[in-house]
Amino acid sequence: MVHFTAEEKNAITTTWGKVNVEETGGEALGRLLVVYPWTQRFFDSFGNLSSASAILGNPKVKAHGKKVLTSFGDAVKNLDNLKATFSKLSELHCDKLHVDPENFRLLGNILVICLAEHFGKDFTPEVQAAWQKLVAGVATALAHKYH
Amino acid sequence: MFSAEERSHIVQIWNYLSGHEAIFGTELLQRLFTVYPSTKSYFPPLIPGLELTQMQNHGEQILMAVGVAVDNMYDLRTALSGLADLHAYSLRVEPTNFHFLIHCFQVMLASHLQSEYTAEMHAAWDKFLTNVAVVLTEKYH
């Protein structure tokens, strides 16, 4: 189980409060598909993914990114109980979506990079460390029900 | 291996870093050691009061090597041969750690360049550093 210090919790919730979930979600998913093109394998039905601008402008990518990041908001509200929070989603990603959990780590890291882009110098090494702990915790929670 | 567009992004990023190797090298190591404390096992122990100087010196070395890689991106194997030997026979850094370093490098660039750090630049730099890491670990077996 992941334990967050009071400082880490504060860093996470303060940052999260300033995040535009719709915009950042679309950006994070878009960057995942651009930087790691093999991840496009899960999104054959999304239409035009032929270039970076096509991906980042793709309405299905934006909508799905928003959905994913909104769900991430549950993590921020349940820092002490990530496994239970993502139990159902873990089953879904294993049984229906068949997503290799390594992809959760990739997306988590891309999210951290998007946050760094938005917050600039305020995204200090310590703030980064708190967020890395969270994205790693979410990735583990999402992989927990795999069988 | 790198398209003309990718090369252009890589060179553009290097032009931003060039001349400030010590500053960016320090931040890179600060992020690496803070986020992935286990990576400190590959470096001399940090001495209280001297940490900043130690990180500046070593960070600068790493960034200057990145500069060599940029200048020789179409023949990394030849240009980085000495460093590949060093990593294979002397440093023997477990390959996962290159991913940690690459990630911290990306976070650092994103935090400095912000909205200028486009997805295309991000992708090109990731491809470039991943190729550098492959060359540096090629002699491991």
Compare CB distances from A126 to B34, B107, B112 and report the shortest one's residue: B34
* Distances from the Cα of A111 to the Cα of A99, A120, A134, angstroms: 18, 14, 11
Quick one: average pLDDT of B5-34?
A: 98
Quick one: average pLDDT of A36-53?
A: 95
What's B47's DSSP letter? P
**Which residues on chain A are in Cβ contact (under 8 Å) with B122?**
31, 34-35, 113
How far apart are alpha carbons B109 and B119 in whole angstroms?
12
* List of long-range contacts for B59-62, beta carbons under 8 Å, 24+ apart: B59/B21, B59/B22, B59/B24, B59/B25, B59/B26, B59/B27, B59/B28, B59/B29, B60/B21, B60/B22, B60/B25, B60/B26, B61/B25, B62/B25, B62/B28, B62/B29
The pLDDT of residue A16 is above 90: yes
Q: Note the pLDDT of residue A2.
A: 86
The pLDDT of residue A1 is above 80: no
The shortest C-alpha distance from A143 to chain B (Å) reads 20
Compare CB distances from B111 to A34, A35, A121 and report the shortest one's residue: A121
The verdict on ipTM greater than 0.85 is yes
Site of tokens 């931003």: B16
What's the pTM?
A: 0.94
The pLDDT of residue A19 is above 80: yes
The shortest C-alpha distance from A104 to chain B (Å) reads 15
What's B44's DSSP letter? P
- pLDDT, tens digit, 9 for 90 and up, residues B58-116: 999 999 999 999 999 999 999 999 999 999 999 999 999 999 999 999 999 999 999 99
